[in-house]
Structure 1
Amino acid sequence: MNIATTDEAQEPVPEGMVALDQIPFGRFHFKVTVMTFGANFSDGYALGIIGSALPMITTQWGLNGFWQGMLASSALIGLFFGSLILGRVSDRIGRQRVYVLNFVLIAAASLAQFWAPNVEILFVLRLLIGFGLGADYAVGPTLLSEFAPRKSRGLMLASLTVLWTVGYVIANIIGAYVNVGPDTWRWLLASGFIPALFVLIVRIGSPESPGWLISKGRGEEAKHIAAKYLNTGNVYIPAAHLEEKSSYAELFSPELRKSTWFGILFYSFQVLPYFAIYTFVYTILEAMKVHDANLQNLVINLFLLAGGIAGLWAIQKFPRRGFTFWTFVIMAVMLVLLGILSGASAWLMLIPFVIYSFVMSGASNITQVYPPELFPTHLRGSGVGLLNATSRIASAIGTFFLPISLEKWGVSVSMYWLAGVLALGALVTWAWAPATESKKLV
């Protein structure tokens, strides 16, 4: 009998059968991608809309700098706890239940923002939204990666970030041009209920991850799902290596700690400048003495969208390691140039700003691709959750400190230290980044 082997583990696959990640891309692969990137759209929308609503809330409620920073970072704080806790839960009880139920919380809390009576209640509601979205950041790409064909995995996972950018850009455009009076911010924040409800509805009835089932020794259930949803009855189910006593400590074992630390650092160094800059983009444009901030912000957002789409091609074209390293380098250089040009004409400063936006948007695609590829199945939810959680600490730190930095030291110094963060990301990638594009995940 002829034997076929998988790319990474050289595990024999009997002739006439197919490994789960070698099933050709089909209708259900597209459907599960759509179900998953709906969450990223909702996240981008929720985090984008607060940037537009915050100046209105500040004016109406007379918020000080502390509460502005707390509201701006509230969803990010919730993301930390949601990713950390529910990523681990998904490794224990399965992906599917978390994948569906978290959007009940997100939809309810999004709508409730309309009636928030004070800043404290609004802060709690945005924490809850972040908690639910954090769960999806851990579980969504994990579940999707365990369904994805290996050849299409990068494209499928990278599309999640593109839809985040779409949600973020739409939120910015709506926030800039919708005005229904002094309570406009309530309508803006509550509008996040609409995409959240849509995601909840389309996810009802979604199946469990066959990869997770295999890791728990439930191969027959995985075969049933493959036959029903992937239209194949000849899927090969490898022997499960049960890890009932696995824990977060295993992520820092000698076998995994390099991957774990790389994931934590590269993800954190990339998103810290991203969230900080785009949450306070109007403040930055004002400091740059831009007269038509809405127009320039629209230009920046269009470059964000274009960069995300271009990044889909780049993820498929280039190795993960080289793509990550060189995008870090380019982004750092653009922020240094932005600092040097501080005080020049607004349109001249816009050049490095839009290049940074284009490259950052494309580069951020890798944050959905690398994390699931770094960990084994029985720890994938925990590992992806940990990376998302720690990256949100970095995001919250950047979001909290950037307005302070702009006020005390101005645009130039602020751009220099943000560029330094990106340079550290390049160094970490050069030293530790693995090649994972051909890795077998199940």
Structure 2
Amino acid sequence: MSARPSLAPYSRLLEEEAVNEITHPHHDSELLDDLEKNSKVTLFLWWLAVVISLGGFLFGYDTGVISSAMLLIEKDFVMTAFEKGMIVGGTTMGAFFGGLGAGYISDTSGRRFTLVLASVIFVLGAIILAFCNSYGALMLGRIIVGLGVGLASMVVPLYISEISPRYSRGRLVTVNVLMITGGQVIAYFVGVAYVDAPDGWRWMFGLSALPAIFQLIALPFIPESPRYLVRNGSPEGAKGVLRQIYPGAPESFVNEEIAVIRETLSVDANGSYRDLVRYPNFKPLIIACGLQAIQQLSGFDTAMYYGGTIMKMAGFETAKSAVIVSISVALTNFAMTVAALYIIDTIGRRQILLSTMLCMIFALLLLGFSFITITGFVPKQPSCTDYGPSCGACRLDERCNFDIKLGVCNDAGSIQSTEIPIGCSGGSRISSLLAIGSLVFYVASYALGLGHAPWLIQSELFPLNVRGRANGVATATNWICNLAIAVTFLPLTETITASGTFWLYATIMLFGWIFVYRLVPETKGKSLEEIQDLFTEST
């Protein structure tokens, strides 16, 4: 079998173009559009997407591994509750600054260089975490890893969108989200494998260096983005990349793609951060930042950062049962992200957001109701005795346990039995299963829509001169909201209860749905240049 790429997808179009070149001296844009529509995603493109998306895998791995690692870290380091929270949020803080800097670096030094830098930072952070012996070094390692996460989370979807055929862009960009969720699943299994090992948390963190090293080795063989190459005076290099993306495509098609990029560059030269708040970039910036905020303020990351805690709230009190259920949630997220690969370019970004966000609102309302039946609407009390006969709420407080004989809450040290009495809401399996079912439905809905669509839409909205900076600002918005959710979840559950917290997320989601309905356009099947025209024509 010949190693040469098959020309079958282009055969009819090549014949039509040959006739067209004789009768019409200029290219038929509809013909070229038809050619791109009939192009297939090659193994080369899949390889690019997978290698580049290793940055997403590392992001997901860090999100998933911290919950297991913290169980061991707190045994080796004496930390206050605030210091524990800072360790969890350290990566998010680093990612915020990494996301801001990624825009400038990717615009000035290239997408590939930014990915190389991210890989180096990942390796450095993993080494520090694996060998640190103080709280300060631990915090430093978490922040350094966060810088790499921030760089990768911005530039990975940006790069993939710029090398993808427009009709396959959704599937290829979603590979990044698939790698993120895959990283989360792997992290949970690594946590189970090393939770009882000596210095297990060091292994959990240190193993993240392996995919980063592999990516660092592979990146020199990955081409630069065609748009970046044209912008920096290398059109022939850009043509070479386009020929790899569209194997067998006629030269006129490649030249037309270069011409479109050049035309965009001639109009959109010398961008700056100030250009982001000017016409026509301001509305796309609002959309991109709004979608990223909605993604995080939906509360999804609480299921990742605090999955075990939520399972404990739901009545799964042993560490083993909580981890098993948490893995099932992560697997649901992964499976539904795989499904999203097949529907994102069929249904469209806007429609899938509107439908899945409604499902998320319903799931959050149901999740809140399930916790009413488990714990009641009882916030955290100053002392155990203040819970009185509220068995479910009592047993969620680590200071307390429920006195079966007296039917009241008391200090845990004064009660030996841990058996859940009949009639204690915390012992209801139906309520626990309702909570798990609601959480799984919520995660599945998120994975199909809000988990990947904001990254995809964000990568499509902006002209080339500000695309890197705009994506950096939007990604930084994501990290700010991520940090807000991570820091406030436990205090909220103690103040307004778990039910109130999930209903708060549902309310935010409702406003988010209105935002999408009113502002977000459909971008499926449109070139990056056609998407930008939507904002110049609508104002």
Same fold (TM over 0.5): yes
Letter in 2 for 1:397: A
Write the distance in 2 (CA, Å) between the matches of 1:302 and 1:277: 12
Distance apart, 1:12 and its partner CA? 5.6
1:260 aligned residue: 285
1:304 aligned residue: 333
Select 1:435's aligned residue among 513, 522, 527: 522
Select 2:302's aligned residue among 276, 281, 294: 276
- Sort the Cα spacing of 1:400 and 1:228 in 2 relative to 1 into closer, same or farther, 3 A: same
1:104 aligned residue: 120
- Does residue 250 of structure 1 match 2:275? yes
Select 1:142's aligned residue among 158, 174, 182: 158
- Sort the Cα spacing of 1:287 and 1:28 in 2 relative to 1 into closer, same or farther, 3 A: same
- Does residue 172 of structure 1 match 2:188? yes
Write the distance in 2 (CA, Å) between the matches of 1:100 and 1:171: 23
Residue pairs, 1:191-270, within 5 angstroms: 191-227=207-243, 230-231=246-247, 234=251, 235-236=254-255, 237-238=258-259, 239-240=262-263, 241-242=265-266, 243-270=268-295
Question: Does the aligned pair in 1 maintain the 2:112–2:219 contact within 8 Å?
Answer: no
Distance apart, 1:45 and its partner CA? 0.6
Write the distance in 1 (CA, Å) between the matches of 2:447 and 2:124: 29
Query: What SS is found at the alignment partner of 2:527?
Result: coil
Write the distance in 1 (CA, Å) between the matches of 2:34 and 2:296: 35
- Does residue 286 of structure 1 match 2:373? no
Write the distance in 1 (CA, Å) between the matches of 2:218 and 2:34: 28
1:6 aligned residue: none
Write the distance in 2 (CA, Å) between the matches of 1:99 and 1:300: 30
1:381 aligned residue: 468
Distance apart, 1:82 and its partner CA? 1.1
Distance apart, 1:270 and its partner CA? 1.2
Question: Does the aligned pair in 2 maintain the 1:332–1:422 contact within 8 Å?
Answer: yes
Distance apart, 1:2 and its partner CA? 4.1
Distance apart, 1:295 and its partner CA? 2.4
Write the distance in 1 (CA, Å) between the matches of 2:237 and 2:434: 59
Question: Does the aligned pair in 1 maintain the 2:368–2:503 contact within 8 Å?
Answer: yes
1:26 aligned residue: 42
Letter in 2 for 1:385: G
Query: What SS is found at the alignment partner of 1:204?
Result: helix
1:410 aligned residue: 497
Deviations 1:278-320 (A, max 9, x none): 2011112212221321222122222112211122223122121
Residue pairs, 1:180-191, within 5 angstroms: 180-191=196-207
Write the distance in 1 (CA, Å) between the matches of 2:241 and 2:190: 40
Residue pairs, 1:148-163, within 5 angstroms: 148-163=164-179
Write the distance in 1 (CA, Å) between the matches of 2:346 and 2:81: 44
Gaps of 5+ in 2: 1-18, 375-430, 530-539
1:321 aligned residue: 350
Question: Does the aligned pair in 2 maintain the 1:223–1:233 contact within 8 Å?
Answer: no
Write the distance in 2 (CA, Å) between the matches of 1:270 and 1:67: 26
Query: What SS is found at the alignment partner of 2:368?
Result: helix
Query: What SS is found at the alignment partner of 2:327?
Result: helix
Question: Does the aligned pair in 1 maintain the 2:20–2:28 contact within 8 Å?
Answer: no
- Sort the Cα spacing of 1:226 and 1:302 in 2 relative to 1 into closer, same or farther, 3 A: closer
Letter in 2 for 1:152: S
- Does residue 369 of structure 1 match 2:456? yes
Residue pairs, 1:64-103, within 5 angstroms: 64-103=80-119
Distance apart, 1:97 and its partner CA? 1.2
Query: What SS is found at the alignment partner of 2:479?
Result: helix
Q: With structure 1 as the length reference, what TM-score do the two structures score? A: 0.92
Question: Does the aligned pair in 2 maintain the 1:161–1:308 contact within 8 Å?
Answer: yes
Deviations 1:46-100 (A, max 9, x none): 1211121112222332322211221111111111111111222211222121122
Distance apart, 1:216 and its partner CA? 4.1
Question: Does the aligned pair in 1 maintain the 2:370–2:435 contact within 8 Å?
Answer: yes
- Does residue 399 of structure 1 match 2:520? no
2:446 aligned residue: 360
Distance apart, 1:403 and its partner CA? 1.5
Question: Does the aligned pair in 2 maintain the 1:111–1:192 contact within 8 Å?
Answer: no
Write the distance in 1 (CA, Å) between the matches of 2:499 and 2:29: 61
Write the distance in 1 (CA, Å) between the matches of 2:35 and 2:222: 18
Q: With structure 2 as the length reference, what TM-score do the two structures score? A: 0.76
Deviations 1:102-140 (A, max 9, x none): 201111211221111222221221111111121122211
Gaps of 5+ in 1: 4-10
Distance apart, 1:335 and its partner CA? 1.1
Deviations 1:239-261 (A, max 9, x none): 34244431122122121211111
Write the distance in 2 (CA, Å) between the matches of 1:19 and 1:221: 25
1:7 aligned residue: none
Write the distance in 1 (CA, Å) between the matches of 2:30 and 2:456: 30
Write the distance in 1 (CA, Å) between the matches of 2:477 and 2:113: 24
Select 1:132's aligned residue among 143, 148, 151: 148
Residue-pair matches, total: 435
Higher deviation after alignment, 333-342 or 301-310 = 301-310
2:387 aligned residue: none
Percent same amino acid at aligned positions? Answer: 26
Write the distance in 1 (CA, Å) between the matches of 2:324 and 2:149: 30
